[in-house]
Amino acid sequence: MSRRCELTGIGPMVGHSVSHSNIKTKRRFLPSLKAVKVTSDSLGQTFSLRISNAALRTLDYKGGLDAFIVKARDEQLSIAAQRIKRQVKAKLAEQAAAA
């Protein structure tokens, strides 16, 4: 299981630990990932995703999974998230055609 957010694509970064004597040693900054169940309003389903805490806050800010995932770029999304995006887009297009 990779340490990468399924919605934003954020992964591990590399930097230095700097001691008091200014000695630099390599270290990894891992993203704060959390396994959550997110509900899609248009599909009426819940999806289990492994996303960062920052992405979770962004979902709340943007108005839910549907609003976020439709505007997200495919390069950032995982394969599972891309599948969800296709389903949401198809459902929204179907609702727009019916209205």
Per-residue pLDDT for 99 more than 90? Answer: no
Whether the CB-CB separation of 91 and 70 falls below 8 Å is answered with no
Residue 7 to residue 49: CA distance in whole angstroms: 8
Residue 79 pLDDT? 95
pLDDT, one tens digit per residue, over 39-66 is 999 999 999 999 999 999 999 999 999 9
Per-residue pLDDT for 1 more than 70? Answer: no
pLDDT, one tens digit per residue, over 6-41 is 999 999 999 999 999 999 999 999 999 999 999 999
Whole-prediction pTM value?
A: 0.85
Domain ranges of the chain: 11-96
Domain boundaries 11-96, corresponding CATH code? 2.30.170.40
Q: Locate the DSSP E strands across the chain.
A: 13-18, 24-29, 33-40, 45-52
Residue 38 to residue 68: CA distance in whole angstroms: 12
